Amino acid sequence: MAIIVDESTRAIVQGITGSQGRFHTERMLKYGTKIVAGVTPGKGGEKLFGVPIFNTVNEAVRETGANASVIFVPASFATDAIMEAVNAGIKVVVCITEGIPVHDELKAYLRVKEAGAILVGPNCPGVISPDKCHLGIMPTHVFREGNVGVVSRSGTLTYQISYNLTSLGIGQSTVVGIGGDRIVGLTFAEVLEMFEKDKQTEAIVLIGEIGGRDEERTAEFIKENISKPVVGYIAGITAPPGKRMGHAGAIIEGGVGTAESKIRALKAVGVEVGKTPKEVAELVAKKLK
């Protein structure tokens, strides 16, 4: 079945005529994703790669029946782009844009929740259900269709661990990069709940990193709500104390959010945590035997 995106996904690209929008639209189309429209104000009536361009999301949805959007617009316009998509009735919004101010992310987050929609990101690599649909910037060749769900705060580690799984002959149902900012549209727990309900998914990989408390909260959620095997990986175990590392969300405050605390929390509820990406894949292989 997969989660969030599948064969029925009909997507628009907001910012399709920009350099990133253009580049990744071509990649997504080649993968087989149904990109039914692009949106760039002032470019309505044009086409790119055979995809019709509209001035507004509302027009695009009305003319094409789109139900998802992937956003490649500058940070100063990204919140408005998310709002426009949700207000037009889009139910899955994938925001690749990084550098959005926190207060703008909060506004977008609240509007998306109010509308009952799903926001993947911001500052994320997107989502892929292998051989069905890809919305984002992931290197699609490292994935194959299968029965392991992957959810991650880190783009690079998402690709590496998925590649390790694929190398062992283990495919993925859906891979979700939730993003590394302080405010993102989906929590680990929300994605795990989707995987728990998904018939295709038989095991789950959770890729976390230092900063925040989402992994610790997720451990509590797993204990009460998840019956499928979960394997974890936490990035940042060697991070120097006091140093800012990577994502905006990778901030340790008051001793909370360290790699050690996250690993302890996950192990306490029965989640095996790999020391390397390769070990994560090997642990998954044992779970599936």
Residues 153 and 99 in one domain: no
User: For position 256, what pLDDT does the model report?
Assistant: 56
DSSP label of 211: S
Q: Is 1 among the domain residues?
A: no
Q: Are residues 283 and 157 in the same domain?
A: yes
**Are 214 and 281 contained in the same domain?**
yes
> Are 175 and 90 part of one and the same domain?
no
Task: Write out pLDDT tens, residues 61-88.
Answer: 999 999 999 999 999 999 999 999 999 9
Does residue 71 fall inside a structural domain?
yes
pLDDT band at 155 (very low <50, low <70, confident <90, very high): confident
Q: 270: domain CATH number?
A: 3.40.50.261
Same domain, 111 and 153: no
Q: Does 133 map to a domain? A: no
pLDDT digits 0-9 by tens, 170-180: 999 999 999 98
Are 248 and 160 in the same domain?
Answer: yes
Could you give the number of structural domains in the chain? Answer: 2
Domain-ending residue, one of 54, 88, 120 = 120
158 and 278 fall within a common domain? yes
Do residues 64 and 152 share a domain? no
- For residue 175, tell me if it sits in a domain: yes
Q: For residues 147 and 283, state if they share a domain.
A: yes
Q: Do 144 and 80 belong to one domain?
A: no
Give the active site residue among 24, 103, 134, 247: 247
Q: What is the pLDDT of residues 86-105, one digit of tens each?
A: 999 999 999 999 999 999 99
pLDDT of residue 250: 45
From CA 198, how far away is CA 173, in angstroms rounded?
A: 9
Q: Check if 247 is active-site.
A: yes
pLDDT tens, residue by residue, 11-45? 999 999 999 999 999 999 999 999 999 999 999 99
Strand segments, DSSP code E, in the chain are 11-14, 35-39, 47-48, 51-54, 68-71, 92-95, 118-120, 126-129, 133-136, 145-152, 172-177, 203-209, 230-235, 272-273
Backbone angles phi, psi at 71, to 5 degrees: -110, 120
Q: What is the pTM of this model?
A: 0.93
Confidence check: pLDDT of 243 > 70: no
Query: Domain range for residue 250?
Result: 139-287
Do residues 249 and 164 share a domain?
A: yes
Nearest-angstrom CA–CA distance, 80 and 158: 28
The partner residues of 134 in beta bridges, in order of sequence, read 128
Query: Is 4 part of a structural domain of the chain?
Result: no
Question: Is residue 108 one of the residues assigned to a domain?
Answer: yes
pLDDT of residue 240: 53
Predicted local distance difference test score (pLDDT) of residue 252: 47
